[in-house]
């Protein structure tokens, strides 16, 4: 088990990539603090993990709200006394082409995908600095490297996540904290389910593997949270089936 005894806070853990990450991390021996807006999904995920002999609590938390994020870390510390791994995974899309994008579409995506990552990262860094160790993993996207039609807000946020990842790696390395990002390609979750089949077929055809990824394919980044990756920091790891080479 790569993560035995480690405490991991995972945002957006109710479904999709966050839920698959939680399952994988529990299998690797981590004790989990699951955070999401959706309480029912959180209850279900925590129950599944406990049934499989894992350990998990959950906290309903909007990552865009600084007070709620502060509360999340307080609850994690009360329960477990330390936080070793933080997965900054919660994210949303509200797509529109540049000339049609509304202010609220811009603000909502920036609030969750950029400010939310800052809120969680800042709390994580404070706890981990005191501990003298820790790992922060941020969910970026292939869109944060190459841009995407109809996603000015999302691309800006994910580009920002890449920038914060590298900045935090530089600032926090001396405290024993590693910071990396993953950049998934097109993964079969609710986030992509609304895409027309035509678009999905184009995306599949762009991958040399000729398929979309599954949430479990992303969860393989568990090694980045473990000591196996002790010399990896400031990296943005593409997990995209070769979508862009
Ligand atoms: P999803 O839509 O299936 O799940 C996102 C989860 O985040 C949901 O459980 C939702 O309730 C939660 N959430 C949304 N806003 C929140 C908030 N303000 N506070 C707390 N929780 C919140 O999405 P998916 O596909 O699992 O995406 C996870 C991450 O991976 C996101 O950051 C996304 O941008 C990124 N990603 C996803 C890709 C894909 O193709 N599905 C590709 C590249 C990146």
CATH number at 199 reads: 3.40.50.720
Structural domain contains residue 245: no
Structural domain contains residue 55: yes
Structural domain contains residue 118: yes
Query: What is the total count of domains within the chain?
Result: 1
The best mutation among 10, 92, 202, 211 to test binding of ligand 1, ranked by most ligand atoms within 8 Å of the C-beta, falls on 92
Q: Around Cβ 120, how many Cβ atoms within 10 Å? A: 26
Structural domain contains residue 182: yes
The overall average pLDDT reported for the chain is 97
Range(s) of the domain holding residue 156: 7-238
Structural domain contains residue 243: no
* pTM of structure: 0.98
- pLDDT(6) > 90: yes
**Region 146-153 average pLDDT:** 96
Where does ligand 1 bind, in terms of residues with CB under 6 Å? Answer: 11-12, 14-18, 36-38, 41, 61-64, 89-92, 112, 116, 139, 141, 184, 186-187, 189-192
pLDDT in tens, 79-137: 999 999 999 999 999 999 999 999 999 999 999 999 999 999 999 999 999 999 999 99
Q: Where does the pLDDT of residue 244 fall: very low under 50, low under 70, confident under 90, or very high at 90 and above?
A: confident
Structural domain contains residue 195: yes
How many A from CA of 65 to the centre of ligand 1?
Answer: 16
Task: Provide the H-helix boundaries in 81-196.
Answer: 103-110, 116-131, 143-146, 152-172, 190-193
Structural domain contains residue 244: no
Angle between helix 116-131 and 152-172 (nearest 10)? 10
How many A from CA of 174 to the centre of ligand 1?
Answer: 31
Structural domain contains residue 1: no
């Amino acid at each position: 088990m790569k993560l035995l005894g480690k405490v991991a806070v995972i945002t957006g853990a109710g479904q999709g990539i966050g839920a698959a990450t939680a399952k994988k991390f529990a299998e690797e021996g981590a004790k989990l603090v699951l955070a999401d807006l959706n309480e029912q999904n959180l209850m279900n995920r925590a129950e599944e993990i406990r049934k499989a002999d894992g350990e998990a609590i959950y906290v309903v938390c909007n990552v865009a709200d600084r007070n709620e994020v502060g509360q999340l870390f307080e609850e994690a510390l009360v329960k477990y006394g330390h936080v070793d791994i933080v997965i900054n995974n919660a994210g949303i899309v509200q797509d529109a082409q540049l000339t049609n994008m509304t202010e609220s579409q811009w603000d909502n995506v920036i609030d969750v995908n950029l400010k939310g990552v800052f809120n969680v990262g800042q709390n994580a860094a404070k706890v981990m600095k005191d501990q003298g160790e820790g790992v922060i993993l941020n969910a970026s996207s292939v869109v944060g490297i190459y841009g995407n039609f109809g996603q000015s807000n999302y691309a800006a946020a994910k580009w920002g996540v890449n920038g914060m990842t590298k900045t935090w790696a530089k600032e926090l390395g001396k405290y024993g904290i590693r910071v990396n990002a993953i950049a998934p390609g097109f993964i079969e979750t609710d986030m992509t389910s609304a895409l027309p089949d035509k678009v999905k077929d184009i995306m599949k055809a762009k991958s040399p593997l000729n398929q979309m990824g599954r949430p479990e394919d992303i969860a393989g980044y568990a090694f980045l949270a473990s000591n196996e990756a002790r010399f990896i920091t400031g990296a943005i790891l593409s997990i995209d089936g070769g979508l862009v080479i």
